[in-house]
Amino acid sequence: MIDYTCFKAYDIRGRLGQELNPEIAMRIGRAFAQVLGAKRVVLGRDCRSSSFELSQAVADGLMQAGVQVLDLGLAGTEEMYFATTHLQADGGIEVTASHNPMDYNGMKMVLRGSAPIDHSNGLAAIKSLAESGAFAPEVAGGSRSDVSGTRAAFVERVLSFVDVAALRPIKIVVNAGNGAAGPTFDAIATALADKGAPLEFIRMHHDPDGSFPNGIPNPLLSENQPVTAARVLAEGADMGIAWDGDFDRCFFFDEAGQFVPGEYVVGLLAEVFVAKEPGASIIHDPRVIWNTQDIVARAGGTAIASRTGHAFLKKALRETGAVYGGEMSAHHYFRDFMSCDSGMIPWLLVAELIGRTGTGLGTLLQERRVAFPSSGEINFKVADVSAAVAAIEAAYASQAEGRDETDGLSMDFGTWRFNLRASNTEPLLRLNVESRGRPDLVSDAVHRISALLGDAAASDH
């Protein structure tokens, strides 16, 4: 029996060929149906060159199990989330590798009601069955139908998060990165125009192209940010937006073309939601927390930390009833969007906030960036993750005023803190450092911790 290494903590991702191919994809589809007892499953795909063939294989596996495949075609992951609930399907699968290199692909899956799946509630069983191939006999009646028309209902749900009448004339640069975002964005832009929204959009790298002629759509990489920043400045735009390949993450640039780190967007959206719903709970990941905690406390809400990763934040939202959850990696989750993440809702909320306040995004965030400077996420390749974390813990244990292991190792020193954790999706150790108004403490800590880790292949944020 082959070990399917493409199964990760809460999704599937692997190198094309050995780790993921049409045969494996077919087996995963068939196992998904059998383990869940699914009769109707939503299927979507991103625009990667390999995604069409893999989605065909997943559909074949599902249909062998007698499933009605509800095919979205080219669509974002959040459209799959929406359609799974909207169509009352038994589950959903999106074939996507998001921002991973060209030779990768994968799948994101949800249960009925767009509930998250992980190894505790189905993923381990799907992996085991796909590996063994011990499937039940084929079931007649499998079928495939086009449900791409659900996009109109998706657009209406997304627009329900904003008061279109409150939008003011602003210019926005949008960079789809030649991923799946373009057609869905166009549907949203058309609906906004029909409702009289006075927004002007400057599109770049807009058409889906699986060869990614302008590079893999991963706006979190510093080398990918200047092109959007430059366009914001050239157009005199009020802000810029960039998405990853399946557009479940949304990244911002302010009116000066400056990239906005994700943790400050989390704080901004937390403030918006607590203002709309006094006393609301807000979920955040444990990597960079002080800005969000301070904003939520000032607004009278409750900030709750969750382990990093979409399956974990979604569970936390469902368990607590929190109105919003955010990760510094630019995943934003909304209770009223099936407790799932969306890359389209955040920019609409920020556009509304700019319209309501008459204040630029950079100005809105300036005070927060000064009050709580952070390092951004720094990645290290180390030979032994556990040993590396133990070495850092030993070096700082005597100085720490507090520690937390919600996700990885967090240590609090009063004026600064760090979080060090292993990636759930890549063979990396990730470091984040923040302080209370002391950028010098951030840079000093990064330097010292990097030295302790042996300066092991540190990469950009």
User: What strands, in cross-sheet order, belong to the sheet with 416-422?
Assistant: 378-380, 429-435, 416-422, 409-412, 402-404
Structure tokens at 245: 């390949």
Length of the chain: 461
Give the integer Cα–Cα distance in Å for 293 and 300.
Answer: 11
Give the integer Cα–Cα distance in Å for 172 and 377.
Answer: 26
Print the SS3 string covering 145-158. EECHHHHHHHHHHH
Structure tokens at 191: 């609906």
Q: To which H or E segment does residue 326 belong?
A: strand 324-326
Strands 104-111 and 143-146: unpaired
Are 15 and 104 in contact by the 8 Å Cβ rule? The answer is yes
Q: For the chain, give percent helix, strand, coil, nearest 5.
A: 40, 20, 40
Structure tokens at 359: 């204040």
Give me the half-sphere count of Cα atoms (radius 13 Å) on the Cβ side of residue 353: 22
With tokens 């692997």, the residue in question is 14
Structure tokens at 444: 């000093």
Q: Is 459 among the residues known to form the active site?
A: no
Are 140 and 146 in contact by the 8 Å Cβ rule? The answer is no
Give the integer Cα–Cα distance in Å for 99 and 84.
Answer: 23
Closest CA to 330 of 315, 350, 316, 357: 350
In sequence order, what are the beta bridge partners of 333?
Answer: 325, 341
Catalytic choice (55, 98, 339, 375)? 98
Query: For residue 398, what is the DSSP state?
Result: T
Q: What is the largest CA-CA distance in the chain?
A: 66
Closest CA to 206 of 173, 254, 253, 157: 173
Burial environment of residue 79 by CB neighbours within 10 A (0 to 12, 13 to 18, 19 or more)? buried
Concatenated DSSP letters for 333-367? EETTTTTEE-SSHHHHHHHHHHHHH---HHHHHHH
CB atoms within 10 A of CB 307: 18
Give the integer Cα–Cα distance in Å for 48 and 45.
Answer: 8
With tokens 């780790």, the residue in question is 19
Q: Which residue numbers are catalytic?
A: 98
